[in-house]
Amino acid sequence: MGNSAAGGRDFVEPVAVRIAVVDPLPMFRQGVVTALEAAGHIVESPVDVVAWLRRGAGTLVLLTVVSNDDWALLGQVCAAAASHLVIALLDDASPVIGARAVRIGAHSVVPREAPAVMLSRTVDATLEGQAVMPAPVAAVLASDLLDSTHRVTADQLSWLRLLAGGATVAEVAEQAGYSERAMFRLLQKLYRNMGVDSRLEAIMRAKEAGWF
C-alpha cells in the first residue's frame, strides 16, 4: 500500500523495530511485550540477549537491572551493542543508581514500574536519538562530569584516548614510558578518581564530557 494523504500531508507508516525485553518475571515481561507490540514493534525475549545482539537480530534492548548479575549483564549488553540502543529498567529510584546505568552505557533510564505509555514514549524517544532519564539522574551525571574535569591530567587524557582507540594497556604503557604493571595501577587510580570502575565506563565518561 502507498502513502495516503490527509490534509495535504503524506502519512508515513512507522517502521517496525525489533526489540528484546529482558526481565526475570514472565508476567512483567509479557506485559512489556504486549505494550510494545501494540505500538507496532517486533518484540522478543531472547534467553541469551548478548548472542541475540551479536547476530544483529535487533535494534534495541530493554533490560531490567536489579541484582549484581544484572549489572554485569548490562555491561556485556552495552559492550556488545555498539550499533544498538539500551534502555535500563530500574527498581531503585536513586539518581546515583540511574547515573551508574548511564555510565555503563545505557542510552535511557526508566523506572521499572513506569506505565506502558511512558515506556512506549521512552522507546520512541530513544530510537529518535534522545536520552531519556529522570532529571535527578541527569543532575548527578552533570555534576560528576564537572568534578572529573579537575581530576584528569593531560597525560591521563592521552591514555584514555589511546584506550578508546583500541590500544591495550601494554601499548599505552609503552607510549607513556611505564611498565605494564605500573600502567595498570595508574589506570586503576585514574578510574577511581573519575568515579568509575572500568575502562569502558571511563571511556564513556570521557566521551560524555566531550574530551575526545
Report yes or no on 139 lying in a domain: no
Helices 169-176 and 154-164 meet at what angle, rounded to 10? 140
Report yes or no on 53 lying in a domain: yes
Amino acid at residue number 136: P
Same domain flag for 155 and 120: no
pLDDT at 145 over 70: no
Report yes or no on 113 lying in a domain: yes
Tens of pLDDT, residue by residue over 26-66, are 999 999 999 999 988 999 999 999 989 888 767 899 999 99
Same domain flag for 128 and 196: no
Average pLDDT in the chain: 84
Average confidence (pLDDT) over 83-110: 88
Q: Cell 573519575, residue? A: 194
Examine the fold and report which residue of 69, 101, 132 is the final residue of a domain before the chain moves on: 132
Same domain flag for 85 and 167: no
Beta-carbon contacts of residue 125 (< 8 Å; ≥ 6 apart): 108, 132
Average confidence (pLDDT) over 12-19: 66
pLDDT at 151 over 90: no
Task: Give the CATH number for residue 167.
Answer: 1.10.10.10
Task: Give the CATH number for residue 22.
Answer: 3.40.50.2300
Closest CA to 32 of 19, 46, 21: 21
Report yes or no on 137 lying in a domain: no
Give the three-state DSSP class for 57: coil
Same domain flag for 33 and 104: yes
Q: Which three cell numbers stand for residue 142?
A: 552533570
pLDDT value at residue 97: 87
Same domain flag for 94 and 189: no
Average confidence (pLDDT) over 106-112: 93
Average confidence (pLDDT) over 107-114: 92
pLDDT at 195 over 60: yes
Parent domain of 190: 149-208
What is the percent of the chain where pLDDT is above 90?
42
pLDDT band at 1 (very low <50, low <70, confident <90, very high): very low
Tens of pLDDT, residue by residue over 65-83, are 998 899 989 988 988 766 7
Beta-carbon contacts of residue 83 (< 8 Å; ≥ 6 apart): none
Same domain flag for 96 and 180: no
As a whole number of Å, the CA-based R_g of the chain is 20
Report yes or no on 52 lying in a domain: yes
Average confidence (pLDDT) over 98-116: 90
Total domains in the fold of the chain: 2
Same domain flag for 112 and 59: yes
Same domain flag for 126 and 159: no
Same domain flag for 101 and 50: yes
pLDDT band at 4 (very low <50, low <70, confident <90, very high): very low
Report yes or no on 116 lying in a domain: yes
pLDDT at 13 over 70: no
Same domain flag for 127 and 172: no
Same domain flag for 113 and 170: no
Same domain flag for 128 and 153: no
60 vs 29: CA distance, rounded Å: 15
pLDDT value at residue 149: 53
Report yes or no on 140 lying in a domain: no
pLDDT value at residue 45: 93
